[in-house]
């Protein structure tokens, strides 16, 4: 198992380009970028290379989603905007040698759900085609959101997301499994993992409520990690939380978790 840190949520005390080295110095194997900053990709690539750290995951641009808007991936009248976001994500994938690309969520708003799903499937097919055109194709990921934080999210059911992944060409599409979202949806994340482990390609964690670090919240994340390891998970485990203090002050979990992961 390898551990990654979200450079969108974590190390935000630092300028973006300095976060790669900070994550490396803190002991992470890789990083994730949920929101690509408006910086030259060459500059981001140099920062990654200087830190000698893997970019485990990026998101296709989500438009206005994080500001409460509809997003892009399943919005019928935003297909062109999604195409532009996809082009930048594919360029970033090549520049940063990215392993996984998350297609990104969207909201239905006032549109018919059927129309949004049709748009999502079209954009997903377009994304798979774009990924396979790269010299080193990444695996694309889809992630069910939670209905508490995002009641009108297009994809919230892990079984439905798994069915989409199952119908894709082999190893081209997988699930992004977020312990926070599964818990907020009222599910036991360990049981969800066991049911859908064949489709899960990448996992993320944060505590409930508030998406905080291990030890701040209701979940026994160490116990969940141990259960996932016992169930056979050995992929990326991404820290996607909002630190309650400076990021480095919240990393007391990392060394003990490495010991848990080593039991696999």
SS3 content of the chain, % helix, strand, coil (to 5): 40, 15, 40
Kindly name the residue from 32, 199, 213, 240 that is annotated as catalytic.
240
**CA quadruple 190, 178, 16, 102: dihedral sign:** positive
Write the pLDDT tens digit of every residue in 165-214. 998 888 899 999 999 999 999 999 999 999 999 999 999 999 999 999 99
Neighbour count for residue 69 (Cβ, 10 Å): 15
Q: Per-residue pLDDT tens, the chain, 264 aa: give them.
A: 999 999 999 999 999 999 999 999 999 999 999 999 999 999 999 999 999 999 999 999 999 999 999 999 999 999 999 999 999 999 999 999 999 999 999 999 999 999 999 999 999 999 999 999 999 999 999 999 999 999 999 999 999 999 999 988 888 999 999 999 999 999 999 999 999 999 999 999 999 999 999 999 999 999 999 999 999 999 999 999 999 999 999 999 999 999 999 986
Domain with 255, as residue range(s), is: 2-261
Count: domains in the chain: 1
pTM here is 0.96
Set 32, 143, 182, 213: catalytic member? 143
Q: At what angle do helices 158-166 and 189-196 cross, to 10 degrees?
A: 20
Tell me, what CATH number does 29's domain have? 3.20.20.150
Query: Is there a contact between 53 and 46 (Cβ–Cβ < 8 Å)?
Result: no
- Extended strands (E) in 21-171: 30-33, 54-59, 100-102, 139-142
Residue 240 annotated to the active site? yes
C-alpha distances (whole Å) from 130 to each of 19, 139, 143, 175, 199 are 29, 11, 19, 19, 21
């Amino acid at each position: 198992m390898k551990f990654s840190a979200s450079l969108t949520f974590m190390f935000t005390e630092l300028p973006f380009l300095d976060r790669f080295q900070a994550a490396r110095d803190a002991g992470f194997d890789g990083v994730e970028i949920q929101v690509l900053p408006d910086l030259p990709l060459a500059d981001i690539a140099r920062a990654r290379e200087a830190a000698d750290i893997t970019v485990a995951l990026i998101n296709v641009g989500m438009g206005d989603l994080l500001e409460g808007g509809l997003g892009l991936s399943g919005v019928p009248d935003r297909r062109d905007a999604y195409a532009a976001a996809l082009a930048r994500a594919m360029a970033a994938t090549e520049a940063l040698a990215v392993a996984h690309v998350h297609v990104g969520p969207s909201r239905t708003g006032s549109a018919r759900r059927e129309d949004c799903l049709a748009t999502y499937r079209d954009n997903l097919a377009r994304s798979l085609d774009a990924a396979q055109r790269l010299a080193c194709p990444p695996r694309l990921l889809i992630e069910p959101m939670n209905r508490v934080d995002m009641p009108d999210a297009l994809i919230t059911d892990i079984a439905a997301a798994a069915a989409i992944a199952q119908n894709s060409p082999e190893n081209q599409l997988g699930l992004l499994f977020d312990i926070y979202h599964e818990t907020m949806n009222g599910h036991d994340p360990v049981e969800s993992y066991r049911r859908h482990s064949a489709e899960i390609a990448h996992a993320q964690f944060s505590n409930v409520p508030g998406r905080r670090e291990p030890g701040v919240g209701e979940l026994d994340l160490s116990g969940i990690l141990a259960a996932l390891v016992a169930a056979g998970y050995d992929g990326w485990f991404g820290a996607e939380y909002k630190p309650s203090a400076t990021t480095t002050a919240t990393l007391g979990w990392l060394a003990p978790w490495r010991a848990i992961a080593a039991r696999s």
